[in-house]
Amino acid sequence: MILRTLFLSLLLSATVFAHGVFHNIVDGAVAIRVTAPNNIAIDNAKITIYAPESSLPFTKGKTDLNGNFAFVPDSHGKWKVDIDVPSDHGSHLKSFHVTIDEKQNVKEFEKTPYDRYLNIISALGFLFGIFGIISLLKTRKKDTN
């Protein structure tokens, strides 16, 4: 009787694990964060991912409350990302490419023109500031004479 009860409880406990929830951490995922220009996260932005040389979507989804979306690429190459942010005055569409290397890591991605030219704009602003200070000091010296 005890052996029968032990066998039955073992059998029932094995079926409990069949309905469990398991998780795993995946290396090589590509995460995209969608924000407004003032760095505020945009939730529910529609994301469509296209594999290299494919016209059919690899995956689709929406960003979470923090503006994040992630996918795991299954091959290397240039992946296309389409972002559609709906608003009261129409959709804001954004499209760019992400290059994935053979190890499934992000090799490079297209940046916005602002990000690409930020260093140049900063250097020009610094130079204009220096020349402005020099001009101000020169005009003050002339005014005191």
Q: Where are the domains of the chain?
A: 23-110, 111-145
pLDDT of residue 124: 80
Contact yes or no for 99/108 (Cβ under 8 A): yes
Q: What are the average pLDDT values for consecutive 10-residue runs of the chain, which has 145 residues? A: 60 52 68 85 93 94 93 91 88 87 76 63 80 83 65
Within its chain, how far is the Cα of 96 from the centroid? 11
Question: What is d(CA 134, CA 136) in angstroms, rounded to the nearest whole number?
Answer: 5
- Of the candidates 24, 31, 23, the one whose C-alpha atom is nearest the C-alpha of residue 105 is 31
pLDDT of residue 5: 61
Within its chain, how far is the Cα of 77 from the centroid? 18
The CATH homologous superfamily to which domain 23-110 belongs is Immunoglobulins (2.60.40.10)
pLDDT of residue 68: 92
